[in-house]
Structure 1
Amino acid sequence: MANLDATEIEKTAGVDGSLKANGPEDRTVGKIPYMFMWVGDGVNMGNMTLGASVVVAGVATLNIWQTIAAAVVAILIISGIFALNDRAGYKEGIPYVVQLRMSFGFKGTVISSLMRGVPAIIWYGIQSWIGGTALNEILKIFTDGAFDSVAICFVALQVVQIGLSLYGFTAIKWVESLASIVIMAAMVYVFIILMKDYRGDLYENWVLAEGSWGLPFFGYIMVFLGNYAAIFLNAADYSRELKTGISDTKRGLMYFSPIVMAYGAVLIIGTMVATVTGVTNPPSALAIVIDNPYVTVGVSAFIVMATIATNMVANIIPPTYVITMLTKARYKVAVTVTGLLAMGAFPWLLVQEDNSRGLDMFILIYSAFLGPIVAILLVEYYILRKQKVNLTDLYNTEGTYAGYNPAAMLALFIGAGAAFIKVDLAWIIGFIVAGITYILLSKYAFKGSKFKQGTIYEDKA
């Protein structure tokens, strides 16, 4: 990074340099905190709501074996994509919005980065609304019902999260390490309660449910996968903070182990809670399952912690970097704007009791765009460029990546268009179609394109 012109860094790395490539001295996250980060991200009420969405109108769409199988398949794909897509950030120290320039160019990055940033802001709002619901449960108990306003709790929680996020990855590391341990303990407690008091209901309504191994089964794999499609897309934002010297295999296990332990467990518990209560809003459902005001306070407090932990990892950093890139705003300004935008995202519309399918459809729709983007990034890095990156070009607004790459833009929209043919399988369809299309367009189309420089098709430029 030392050979880059300081003026170019200032132009494209944000006025405080938050988008510059991290060197070894800039990386402060070790292996254990990094794994705790993904435990904390996986154990959240948004993920529990996804598990609850398996139950529609009190009837389980998938039985226990189908639910577990769908979760395992989704987590295997998630971990694999994470391990592949994190390498550019880990090796080069670049954030996601800079990684995008290789494929889309400076101007094309604006569109593709917004497709990641907008869902993150909405998820930020969804998680905060669920956390606000839990905080409201606590205050209702403490005031003996005198206070009851989810909206006020939502705003208060958002203000706290904005304050924490001002401290950047340092705050994320410590919040996640603490929250992940406490939250997993709470999940174990809930599981014990369910197995002790509701075993008969679970057996009759979930274990013995007919379910389906057909399209609903594969659709839920896409939903479970699509929930992480936004996160592993910007894997570089996280891996660039991880200390150097860790092999690709070890990093793959550092994703798989915490995700299967946390995300898998929460999906299953979410399904169990919805099965026995018929309620898809986790704080409300847990209040029914745990019929003890003092324990409810404790579990609700854990839900609030889980909300903060998840947002700190998955939903604050990506849009913050996008805002920094688009406006050249300082990190603290951009992270504050991100929090304010999340407050206006109307998240309650996606977690209503009479709209249990709403969250699933939201995930499937944005997955139609994110599947193609991650395919293009992987094709670019591994196939077209053979993992060779010129950092100088990535920060040169007048160089190879100036403007936009028509091959990448076309592949993105062709892949997304194909994904909408069968929205229940949006991610995988968009991923496959966009990946193949990008290879073909890069090889045969747009003769003379400067984006072929440094690729295996350079001689066709």
Structure 2
Amino acid sequence: MSVHLEDSIQSESLPHQPAALDESLKPKTEGGRTVGPISYFFMWLGDGVNLGNMTLGASMVVAGTATLNLIQTFAAAIIAIGIISVVFALNDRLGYRTGIPYVVQLRMSFGFKGSVVSSLMRGIPAIIWYGFQSWIGGTALNEIAKVATGGSFDSVATCFVVLQLVQIALSLYGFHAIKWVEILASVVIILALVYVFGVLLTSHGAAITENWVNAKGTWGLPFFGFIVMFLGNYAAIFLSAADYSRELKSGVSDAKRGFLYFSPIFLAYGFVLTIGAMLASATGISNPVKAFAIVVDNAYITVGVSAFIVIGAIAVNMVANIVPPAYVITLLTKLKYKPAVTITGLLAIGSFPWVLVQDSSAQGLGLFILIYSAFLGPIISILLVEYYLLRKQQVNIAELYREDGPFAGYNPCALLAMFIGAGAAFIVVELAWLVGVFVAGIAYYLLMKYAWKDSPFKKGTIFDQSM
């Protein structure tokens, strides 16, 4: 299926754009799409193979014993990955068809002013994840430095800052740099993890079997809580699916794009979650870098594995944690893309990522995911209800760029539905994302139907009384 043009996507159809609008926020043209299906596959493969996902797997192990056993872990992961792929494929369609970024897509439901609030809900978690991934990468870089200096250098904070500055420099090159970093990282890191997987099985199999494989576990609320946590880990990424699909070359069908999400996420996410649980079960330590140092008791191999961890941290940040907040900063400040990614990197330095994961437990990371998921679930639900139910996939893209058009100001229905959904999500925080999705979606549909009868946001929807 080729890119649809029924959504009025040609840049010449956007006469009301302000002169200061950065090029990165304009609809991506056919010639500007540089990522092919193979590169797109490796991009998501590289994104999934990261220490954040591994730490999430380690978070299942508390006080040396897993909350879920092997079968329960795989069941929770497969259910979560299936939901991730479906929602990804549904929400990426507008960006793929029209070339608009996520921050502009938000205007469809929230309006120019309302999109500021909802875009921050995506941008802030990404900046914290950026800092967290860099902190893990800095920890690994410090392990390399300790070996290289014979133990005379030992400063994770210094390595963290150095790695952050390198990522800021790389991010200035935009998606062109991302594509090549991801292809290299995904292949190299998976080879390293296959080696670690083998070491864990041969040297720590008994501890892993006792503490994880044969753990009693549960099929109760904690099981569903981990599904939502696994799901919530990708909630911010598939919310801004348009930021990625707009870079994909045209001619890729909806089904094929769904496959390009499911297959790499299944391979990478599932494998890395497994290794995280195995590491924590074998060592009792939730920080994967420190657990690696115990499992791989060889200086040269430690350097190699640590190097792969550093590459992985850079790879996932380049995909998931730099572009979305940079677009938000560009939208709010009118800055160009390069200053925006620089500010994003500097903000990530001050995100205090080391608070999320302690040696004994990674529960802080899980709680962080559940909290921000309470807001991201409602937003994705509102966008999908808007696009598929209310607008029947017909959107006038030119109107989304008109500051004096029907999407000016804010849509009270969307903001109210978002807060209703988030409020409901916090009632059962273990299931935050799922609760928020259902409650906010229903609330938004009913509010658009019955409230604010003269709202300009109803123009072009099934509730447009002028039609």
Deviation of 1:6 after TM superposition, in Å, equals 4.9
Deviation of residue 9 (structure 1)?
4.7
Matches within 5 A, 1:300-449: 300-449=306-455
Instruction: Answer yes or no: is 1:76 the counterpart of 2:82.
Output: yes
| Superposed displacement of residue 199, structure 1 | 1.3
Post-superposition CA distance 1:179-202 (Å, at most 9, x none): 100011111111111111111111
Query: In structure 1, the residue corresponding to 2:106 is in which secondary structure?
Result: helix
1:174 counterpart = 2:183: no
Aligned to 2:6: none
CA contact (8 A) 1:448 1:460 kept: no
Please state if 1:456 is matched with 2:465. no
Match of 1:31 among 37, 42, 46: 37
Amino acid corresponding to residue 102 of structure 1 in structure 2: M
Do the aligned residues in 2 keep the contact of 1:82 with 1:255 (CA within 8 Å)? yes
Instruction: Note the alpha carbon deviations across 1:98-132, whole angstroms, 9 max, x for none.
Output: 00000000000000000000000000000000000
Deviation at 1:203, TM superposition (A): 1.3
Normalised TM-score (structure 2): 0.97
TM-score computed with the length of structure 1 as normaliser? 0.98
| Distance change (3 Å), C-alpha of 1:355 and 1:279 | closer
Partner of 1:10: 19
**1:213 paired residue among 209, 212, 219:** 219
SS at match of 2:442: helix
The yes-or-no answer on 1:265 pairing with 2:277 is no
Asked whether the 8 Å contact 1:129–1:347 carries over to 2, the reply is: yes
Is 1:57 the counterpart of 2:66? The answer is no
* Corresponding letter in the other structure for 1:10: A
Cα drift, residue 391 of structure 1: 1.3
Query: 1:38·1:255 contact (CA, 8 Å) conserved in 2?
Result: yes
Q: Which whole-Å CA distance do the structure 2 matches of 1:19 and 1:452 have between them?
A: 24
CA-CA distance at 1:10 after TM superposition = 2.9
Structure 2 matches for 1:226-305, cutoff 5 A?
226-305=232-311
Cα shift at 1:19: 0.2
**Contact in 2 for aligned 1:412/1:434 (Cα 8 Å):** yes
Q: Which of 171, 191, 194 in structure 2 is aligned with 1:188? A: 194
CA distance in 1, matches of 2:449, 2:151: 66
Higher mean alpha-carbon deviation, 1-10 vs 36-45, is at: 1-10
Matched residues in 2 for 1:237 and 1:29: separation?
12
Query: 3-state SS of the aligned residue for 1:146?
Result: coil
Offset of residue 354 of structure 1: 4.2
Q: Secondary structure at the match of 1:18?
A: helix
C-alpha displacement of 1:344 = 0.4
Q: Unmatched 5+ residue regions in structure 2? A: 1-9
Helix, strand or coil for the counterpart of 1:313? helix
Amino acid at match of 2:174: G
* Counterpart position of 1:143: 149
Deviation at 1:59, TM superposition (A): 1.2
Distance 2:18 2:262 in 1: 35
Tell me, in whole angstroms, the C-alpha distance in 1 between the residues paired with 2:13 and 2:321. Answer: 30
| SS of corresponding position for 1:241 | coil
Percent identity of equivalent pairs: 67
Give the gaps of 5 or more residues in structure 1.
none
1:357 Cα offset (Å): 1.0
User: CA contact under 8 A between 2:66 and 2:212: conserved in structure 1?
Assistant: yes
Q: How far did residue 5 of structure 1 move? A: 4.5
Partner amino acid for 1:416? A
Give the drift of 1:8. 1.2
Q: Note if contact 1:3-1:392 (Cα within 8 Å) is conserved in structure 2.
A: no
- State the Cα RMSD in Å: 1.0
Q: Is the 1:443–1:460 contact (alpha carbons within 8 Å) kept by the matching residues of 2?
A: no
Please give the alpha-carbon distance, in whole angstroms, between the structure 2 residues aligned to 1:159 and 1:6: 38
Aligned residue for 1:199? 205
